Amino acid sequence: MLHIYNSLTRQKEVFTPLEPGQVRMYVCGMTVYDYCHLGHARVMVVFDTVYRYLKTSGYVVEYVRNITDIDDKIIKRAAENGEPMDALTQRFIDAMHEDEDSLNVMRPDAEPRATGNVPEMLAMIQTLLDKGMAYQGKNGDVYYDVSKFNGYGKLSGRKLDELRAGERVAVDEIKDDPLDFVLWKAVKPGEPAWDAPWGQGRPGWHIECSAMSQKLLGDHFDIHGGGSDLQFPHHENEIAQSEGCIGHKHVNYWMHNGFIRVNDEKMSKSLNNFFTIREVLKDYKAAEVRFFILNSHYRSQLNYGTDQLDAARASLSRLYTAIRGLPESGPAAYTYYEKRFIAAMDDDFNTPEAIAVLFELAGDINRIRKTQSDASAAALGALLQRLGNVVGLLQEDPESWFKGAAGAGDLDDAAIESLIQQRLDARKAKQWAESDRIRDELKAQGVLLEDGAGGTTWKRA
């Protein structure tokens, strides 16, 4: 029985979908004005894993993750680059998809863009105006009146008076309340704009997700996710807008993944301490990055560093070593290991515990290979791969994993195989010095040899 930690109630709850056997899930996606960094990678991987596990558990899942393609930062970056805004956003959407593919992240079922859903935002804003929950400020912007929503603060656990104490009222008093947030921004020179009954302009950030989630998933759905930095004010404002508009609860389970931190600070573009996914993938395999993310619980903070990624590399090599060279087989029938793996994932998607089960299984495989035979271990090896696949790991052929891709200046596979054959010929001729020379030459080129009963295998260090 799956349990999910609900940020709204601050406790784990039994997951009961609105419709038996079906799950509707919305996740806040990227604002596309630059390359994705590791913080974005965590959102991608975490909710991809949730998506995979729900599907593995037999649910029919409708997964929506939006793209913010109109925003102050986007407008500014396009102006700095001297390029059309839609050209900028499309370039970084394409780059985002490339990063996702590298990380073995499945595409959501729908990826709505903000600019393609402005009519729905206009309709929601109009409803809020008609209900007296929004108003137009002196500057032409339209604001949501938080005082008209009794539940404001319930997601973040904050009270209006406490929130107001930390705010400063704008000098010109354009808002009725410092906490009121913008739904529609009045047109400014040189900025893109849409027609609206209250004047030309563009949507505020918060209204996007309320309108798009309601359009694609209905006015009441199962799961809403995103990074913990979105809990307040973005998701708090989403609740106010959506529930103020429809008059009832709109999300049952709120999920938030923790930050990635660098030197005890949150990784973010605003702090200029971020590492793009592309930068990291120059030195590490995408699977190592995915393992690094999943080896911590999604709600915990995650420290980034080369030590952690080196550990991820070594850990994956241990798992691939356990299944390397095993004969093909169907996976073992329902076992103790599978039962524990499922129990870990059912406990709020506890991937570190699930991965620990994979290592126990790998240890059992290694023991059976030593004491019995590779054939005896084959079914457990197939099970290890199948369970790994549930969380998007162990997707590669073990030989391909160890051999990897040759970098610039590295020996290619054919050259390595040729030298291995020369070494084999030298050993047959009992030319031990030549055999050792070839081994040392390969080692100097970053290629390690392993001699076994089945012959010589190799891997790139």
Binding residues for ATP, as ranges, are 269
Feature table: binding site for Zn(2+): 28, 209, 234, 238
Give the annotated binding-site residues: 28, 209, 234, 238, 269
Q: Which two tokens stand for residue 83?
A: 């390029």
Question: How many whole angstroms separate alpha carbon 407 and alpha carbon 131?
Answer: 62
Read off the DSSP letter of residue 107. P
Distance CA 114, CA 67 (A): 6
CB hemisphere CA count around 409 (13 angstroms): 3
- The single residue listed with the structure tokens 């990380």 is 103
Residue with tokens 């929130």: 163
Close Cβ partners of 246 (under 8 Å, ≥ 6 residues apart): 214, 219, 220
Tokens of 388: 């790994």
Looking up tokens 């999300």 gives 251
Q: Using the Cα atoms of residue 398, residue 400, residue 406 and residue 407 in order, give the sign of their dihedral.
A: negative
**CA dist., res. 243 & res. 237, Å (int):** 10
Indicate the DSSP class of residue 284.
S
User: Quick check: 439 and 456 in contact, CB under 8 A?
Assistant: no
SS3 355: helix
Residue whose structure tokens are 């739904």: 183
